Amino acid sequence: MDITNILLLVILGSAVGFFAGLLGIGGGAILVPALTVFFLSQHHDPAIVVHLALATSMSCIVINALLSIRTHHKHHAILWPIVSAISPAILLGSALATWLVIEMDSKTIALIFTLLMLLVALQLLIGFKPRATAAKRIPKTELLPVGFVIGFISAIIAIGGGSLTVPYLTWHQINIRKAIATAAAIGLPIALTSGVVFLMQGIHQTNLPELTFGYVFWPATLLISIGSLFTTSLGAHLTHRLPVHYLKKIFAAVIVILALKMYFSFT
């Protein structure tokens, strides 16, 4: 890999880290389309470039989730009973979605990803929040189907699940800081499960580029993670200084453009 590509991946990681810190989202919304275009530019097999992008994005989320959990746990903000109760369904939903994605062709995945990103962008623009319910303990019979849906959708678009988990928990009158911390902890089983399935299913693939293990392109994981380390805290610091309302609109436009770029790369 030449110095230009190394710098591109570090810059990509910096952008992901900045928006993750600033808006609490990022991850796959930026990484998947950007890495897909990157892998296509490197003349890798178009049939597997989106799989590479999803798997590599998930590997980055594992690292970020571990760092986030460490910080949130120090502040005693993670609601571990919810994490333990919802995780079995999260694992099942993530594993099933990843297995289905591997069986799809790149163009179909790109179409699904683009449609879901349009919904994410719409949520950013209108700021829809469900009407809060009375505060009460969430029953396990509710957490299991919700966890399955969160794990399934998150694995398809390679996100940690925060954009789904945080609104759900705040809907149940859980403090926003605890909701964010708990969502970070829930993101780890999503990323780990999806990453393991990608690794296992990709071991016997013969058309993968060098320096991959399964579908994960490890140089990209390392460089993106390095880039995000320098900007995540900066983004979080600027949350209280910048007009976040307008930045959400810019971010919504960016992820739609990236998703459309990815999809039309296959036409």
Please, which pLDDT band fits residue 133 given cuts at 50, 70 and 90?
low
d(CA 257, CA 184) in angstroms, rounded, equals 27
pLDDT digits (tens, 9 = 90+) for 216-258: 999 999 999 999 888 877 776 676 577 767 777 888 888 888 8
pLDDT tens string 2-23: 899 999 999 999 988 887 766 6
Q: Who wins on pLDDT, 58 or 241?
A: 58
Contacts with 111 (C-beta within 8 Å, 6 or more apart), sequence order: 263
Q: How many CB atoms lie within 10 A of CB 246?
A: 9
> Are the CB atoms for 15 and 95 separated by under 8 Å?
no
Model pLDDT, residue 65: 79
For residue 198, pLDDT over 90 is answered with: yes
Minimal CA–CA distance to 208: which of 100, 55, 63? Answer: 55
Residue 27, pLDDT above cutoff 80: no
The total number of structural domains that make up the chain? 1
Q: How confident is the model at residue 130 (pLDDT cuts 50, 70, 90)?
A: low
Q: Encode burial over 41-63: b for 16+ CB neighbours within 10 A, e otherwise.
A: eeebbeebbbbbbbbbbbbbbbb
pTM, full prediction: 0.85
pLDDT beyond 70 at 170: yes
Mean pLDDT of 125-141: 70
Domain that holds residue 96: 3-264
pLDDT at 204 over 90: no
Q: What is the pLDDT of residue 50?
A: 92
SS3 assignment for the chain: CCHHHHHHHHHHHHHHHHHHHHHCCCCHHHHHHHHHHHHHHCCCCCCCHHHHHHHHHHHHHHHHHHHHHHHHHHCCCCCHHHHHHHHHHHHHHHHHHHHHHHHCCHHHHHHHHHHHHHHHHHHHHHCCCCCCCCCCCCCHHHHHHHHHHHHHHHHHHCCCCHHHHHHHHHHCCCCHHHHHHHHHHHHHHHHHHHHHHHHHHHCCCCCCCCCEECCEEHHHHHHHHHHHHCCHHHHHHHCCCCCHHHHHHHHHHHHHHHHHHHHHCCC
If one counts every other C-beta atom within 10 angstroms of the C-beta of residue 144, the result is: 16
